[in-house]
Amino acid sequence: MKINRRSFLKSAGVLAAGTASAPAAAAEAAAEPTPRWAMLIDLRKCIGCQACTVSCIHENAVPEDSYRTVVTTYEVASEGRVDAYMLPRLCNHCANPPCVPVCPVGATWAEPGGAVLVDNERCVGCGYCVQACPYDARFINHETQTADKCTFCLHRVEAGLLPACVESCVGGARIFGDLNEPDGDLRRAMDEAESLKVLRPEQGTAPHVFYIGLEPEFAGDVDAEPVLWDARAERR
């Protein structure tokens, strides 16, 4: 096969252009900001229906008597009136997760996007991370004998879907998104909120589950018994 000078220079030019574009594409990909996943829960909209709990169980094959997310309900008596108080709980996917450094085999870690995960093939089920979590958000899965917890449904998020608990919330109490996306639903809702609170702020874990309408007496250890089933009591 003969290649004349003109054809060679033309093909060489195309090759050079393709080579030059590769670093540019790599630089563009590197410049994309890493998302910081978080959840906002508006307690004014939660009705305690447990749709989030049930959808999480089905989506993640959570074993019986265990929960990755749950809504604990309390009765609050004040001035002769009794009201129900709903408190949804899940892993807070902390920026400073205390569960990570206590793991003796490195089975738990934080993803670049902030989701804290567990490698069930590496986990030895020692329970150190369960004890270290100030939010009572971890448990030992009695089927796998390894640590289990909410993952923000990262498998769904990476497919462009919402976490199961968010998608199933009938009151629209849960909003999930990227904190680094200024025009996203999460960022807008947080910017518009009058007051945002987190659970156990004194722990310094920098949790990334935020609440609207969280009463101070429910932000820490609650000195009360829930009126409905409680995941913590079920696991003891």
Q: Supply the pLDDT for residue 75.
A: 83
Q: Supply the pLDDT for residue 27.
A: 54
- Indicate the pTM of the whole model: 0.81
CA dist., res. 171 & res. 15, Å (int):
56
CA dist., res. 236 & res. 234, Å (int):
6
Q: Supply the pLDDT for residue 1.
A: 44
Per-domain boundaries in the chain: 37-97+151-235
* CATH number, domain 37-97+151-235: 3.30.70.20
10-residue mean pLDDT series, the chain (236 residues): 44 44 54 89 95 97 94 83 88 98 98 97 97 97 97 97 97 97 95 94 97 91 66 47
Task: Report which of 123, 91, 128 is spatially closest to residue 106, judged by C-alpha positions.
Answer: 123
Q: Supply the pLDDT for residue 12.
A: 44
Q: Which spans in the chain are helix H?
A: 5-31, 51-60, 128-132, 154-157, 164-168, 185-192, 231-235
Q: Supply the pLDDT for residue 72.
A: 92
